[in-house]
Amino acid sequence: MLRRELFVAFLVLLTVPNVGGGQEGEFKKFIATCSTTQVADFTCEIVGDRWEVRCILAAGQDPHTYETKPGDTKMVADADLILRNGWHLEGHEWMMNLAKDANKPVVTCVDGVKSLTLGGGAEVKDPHAWLSPINASIYVRNIVKGVSQIDPEHRLEYEARGELYIAQLRTLHLWVQREFNKIPRSQRVLISHHDAFNYFCTLYGFQGASPGGWSTGDEIGAGITAERRQKVVDTIRSYNVKAIFVETTINPKLVRQIAADAGVKVAGSLYADSMGSPGTAAESYLGMMRENVIMIVNGLK
């Protein structure tokens, strides 16, 4: 008799579907489709193995000028949640348009950040907020909230992962401050192709300049102008800047020309609008920030 009961119990166990929880069982994963590599990395840090995280942009692609492909429509249609940066980082709001067409819920990660506005006659909110680790923690909180709304059963788990990651962002911030103490205040001038580093420069006491404006695309107030190019050369000369930087997503030609004109070296390639390729030191947000800071210290100290 006892044997038979055990056998029945075993059968019941076999037939109860695994609805998440145990690692051994099969359960349907939620799907998050992200626009940028940074947003995808933050999302991966929060969702663990409960979600499949997909990213439209590959490492090294430019979000400002990206043109959507038919495959992107499918990636959005398959998703339970869409995550984007916002504030026109995705040029002409391509991610929002894809999400609207598919009627999908959207997390705009930059929501709640205190914006820096860009000049040039147009009031445009600078979208490059993630390059401040303090702002990155706002992105993380928005993502925790967004995934918890889709999967409220595991909210505490998402919050726990989010808190651990925010602690890592705080550690990163303190480390960046210590590293930049190696660069004299008078030499804290960061010049790269476009204005990706305004939040970063404001947080760490740098002057910034770029020939490209806030976007590499053709949006309001963006683009290379002779005036911006001249301002960069003037800044290099007046601050006696030792080195300037190209960016991993942008053709380095213009910055190399400016370096030659102004008689300074190009110290290397910064990660701004994209993280590094998988397998490189900059394949994560923490990694790209670390590699950027090391490169800036080596170039300017």
Which lies closer to Zn ion via its Cβ, residue 162 or residue 212? 212
Least Å from the CB of residue 216 to Zn ion: 6
Which lies closer to Zn ion via its Cβ, residue 137 or residue 274? 274
- Determine, following the binding rule CB under 5 A, whether residue 75 of this chain makes contact with Zn ion: no
Interface stretch with Zn ion, choices 24-32, 100-108, 144-152, 265-273 (CB under 5 A): 265-273
Interface stretch with Zn ion, choices 118-126, 232-240, 269-277, 282-290 (CB under 5 A): 269-277
Interface stretch with Zn ion, choices 43-51, 151-159, 268-276, 279-287 (CB under 5 A): 268-276
Alpha-carbon distance of 191 to 256, in angstroms, equals: 12
Angle of helix 226-238 relative to helix 253-262, nearest 10 degrees?
A: 50
User: Tell me, what amino acid is at 263?
Assistant: G
- Determine, following the binding rule CB under 5 A, whether residue 196 of this chain makes contact with Zn ion: yes
Question: Measured at the alpha carbon of residue 41, what is the angle toward residues 70 and 140, in degrees to the nearest 5?
Answer: 115
Alpha-carbon distance of 244 to 299, in angstroms, equals: 8
Helices (H), 68-132: 70-77, 94-102
Q: Which position among 41, 219, 247, 273 is part of the footprint of Zn ion (CB under 5 A)? A: 273
Both tokens assigned to 26: 């099969």
Question: Measured at the alpha carbon of residue 289, what is the angle toward residues 286 and 292, in degrees to the nearest 5?
Answer: 150
Which lies closer to Zn ion via its Cβ, residue 228 or residue 242? 228
Which lies closer to Zn ion via its Cβ, residue 61 or residue 187? 61
Contacts of 282 (CB under 8 A, 6+ apart): 271, 275, 276, 288, 290, 291, 292
- Give the residue carrying structure tokens 């609805």: 19
- Determine, following the binding rule CB under 5 A, whether residue 201 of this chain makes contact with Zn ion: no
Least Å from the CB of residue 35 to Zn ion: 13
Least Å from the CB of residue 206 to Zn ion: 17
Which lies closer to Zn ion via its Cβ, residue 90 or residue 273? 273
Interface stretch with Zn ion, choices 37-45, 80-88, 258-266, 271-279 (CB under 5 A): 271-279
Alpha-carbon distance of 44 to 275, in angstroms, equals: 14
Which residues 122-161 are close enough to bind Zn ion by CB under 5 A? none
Contact 246, 255 (CB under 8 A): yes
Which lies closer to Zn ion via its Cβ, residue 147 or residue 196? 196
List of residues contacting Zn ion (CB under 5 A)? 196, 273
